[in-house]
């Protein structure tokens, strides 16, 4: 289907910082056996890319694309080419019908992926333990791939051994890793990329005990509900929260999946940095005036029906 080749480029650094257009275009040109001069500017690189890709049957894969990047300039100059973009949130320039959201794998599919990477005999020989590992991984392909590779690299381990290592919630994110990559690093890097107010809200969600919540559960002031809901939606856009249902008043309810919940609890245990709240909603005064007084670190939290009132 694409006889002229498949081009691959990462559009962002591991910490989420987007690469420049010059960097991405240089990678694509290099894949096309072009050698642009080191001092070439964006216009020159784009000209060369359009000439090199003209009428060619290419598949371009751009990984870790972020919303603020101009992806049009990376589209080949050919009606026979195709582009696949991956990212950790929806891209505003891509239509809904062209977007595929990849959710967690079902248990059977998760066990199958674990078996393919970790070894069929090793994994499928202990089906109950394999399903437990898949549950600890929350069906996430990255987590399954990492623990599968770890299992394959340690032939003396059994799936039961792996289950025992994952059972401790305080160590689980660190155990879900191999070869310098970990789910802990991936999720914490994604948390650092959040705006300060959304990251602070994620930190405070670690104290919740209920499985689902809405903006109304997180503030005692109904005037602040739209502000809180906007921040919840931002967390959902970054896949830290999942929409669950609408309540009787049509307000969206959310749930915090198990692995992001562990990240939230880590943030909860970390020292508070109020600089993360440039426009905080920790109290009504601060929410009305971003330049106004910041909330006190010693401000008591109110407990209602076993939940923590955050705002």
**pLDDT tens for residues 23-35?**
999 999 999 999 9
Classify domain 194-309 by CATH architecture. Answer: Orthogonal Bundle (1.10)
Average pLDDT of the segment spanning 122-141: 95
pLDDT over 90, % of the chain: 53
Q: How far, in Å, CA of 237 to CA of 272, rounded?
A: 24
Output the pLDDT for position 216.
87
74 band by pLDDT with thresholds 50, 70 and 90: very high
Residues 299, 283 contacting (CB under 8 angstroms): yes
Q: Residue 243, SS3?
A: strand
Average pLDDT of the chain? 84
- Let me know how long the chain is: 311
pLDDT, residue 271, reads 63
DSSP state of 105: P
Phi, psi of 83 (to 5 degrees): -130, 130
Query: Taking 90 as the threshold, does the pLDDT of residue 80 lie above it?
Result: yes
The band of 274, judged by pLDDT with boundaries at 50, 70 and 90, is very low
pLDDT at position 294 is 37
Distance separating alpha carbons of residues 46 and 187, to the nearest angstrom: 34
pLDDT at 280 over 70: no
Inter-CA distances, 189 with 8, 14, 16, 17, Å: 22, 8, 7, 10
Confidence of residue 272 (pLDDT cuts 50, 70, 90): low
What is the Cα 91 distance to its own chain's centre? 13
Q: What is the DSSP string of 56-94?
A: ---EEEEES--TTS-GGGGS-S-TT-EEEE--SS--TTS
Percent of the chain with pLDDT over 70: 86
Positive or negative CA dihedral for 47, 52, 57, 63? negative
Mean pLDDT (whole number) for 189-214: 86
Pairing of strands 82-85, 59-63: parallel
The string of pLDDT tens digits covering residues 89-103 is 778 888 888 888 878
pLDDT of 106 over the 90 cut: yes
**76 contacts 53 by C-beta, under 8 angstroms:** yes
Residue 111 CA to residue 281 CA, distance in Å, equals 42
| Residue found by looking up tokens 């689980």 in the block | 172
Closest CA to 283 of 266, 298, 295: 295
Q: What is the pLDDT of residues 211-231, one digit of tens each?
A: 788 898 888 888 899 999 999
């Amino acid at each position: 289907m694409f006889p002229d080749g498949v081009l691959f480029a990462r559009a962002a650094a591991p910490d989420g910082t987007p690469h420049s257009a010059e960097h991405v275009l240089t990678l694509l040109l290099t894949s096309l056996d072009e050698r642009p001069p080191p001092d070439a500017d964006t216009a020159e690189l784009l000209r060369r890319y359009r000439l090199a890709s003209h009428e060619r049957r290419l598949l371009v894969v751009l990984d870790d694309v972020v919303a603020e990047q101009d992806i049009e300039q990376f589209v080949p100059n050919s009606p026979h080419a195709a582009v696949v973009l991956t990212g950790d949130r929806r891209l505003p320039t891509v239509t809904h019908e062209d977007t595929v959201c990849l959710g967690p794998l079902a248990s059977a599919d998760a066990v199958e992926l674990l078996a393919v990477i970790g070894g069929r005999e090793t994994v499928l020989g202990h089906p109950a333990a394999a399903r437990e590992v898949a549950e600890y991984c929350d069906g996430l392909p990255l987590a399954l791939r990492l623990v599968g590779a770890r299992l394959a690299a340690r032939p003396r381990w059994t799936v039961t051994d792996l289950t025992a290592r994952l059972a401790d919630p305080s160590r689980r994110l660190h155990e879900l890793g191999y070869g310098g990559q970990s789910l802990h690093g991936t999720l914490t890097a994604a948390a650092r990329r959040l705006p300060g107010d959304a990251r602070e809200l994620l930190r405070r969600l670690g104290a919740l005990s209920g499985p689902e919540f809405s903006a109304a559960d997180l503030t005692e002031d109904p005037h602040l509900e739209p502000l809180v809901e906007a921040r919840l939606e931002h967390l959902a856009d970054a896949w830290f929260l999942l929409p669950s249902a609408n309540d009787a008043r049509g307000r969206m309810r959310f749930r915090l999946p198990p692995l992001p919940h562990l990240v939230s609890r880590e943030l909860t245990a970390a020292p508070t940095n109020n600089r993360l709240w440039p426009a905080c909603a920790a109290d009504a005064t601060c929410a009305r005036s971003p330049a106004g007084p910041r909330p006190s670190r010693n401000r008591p939290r109110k407990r209602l029906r076993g939940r923590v009132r955050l705002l």
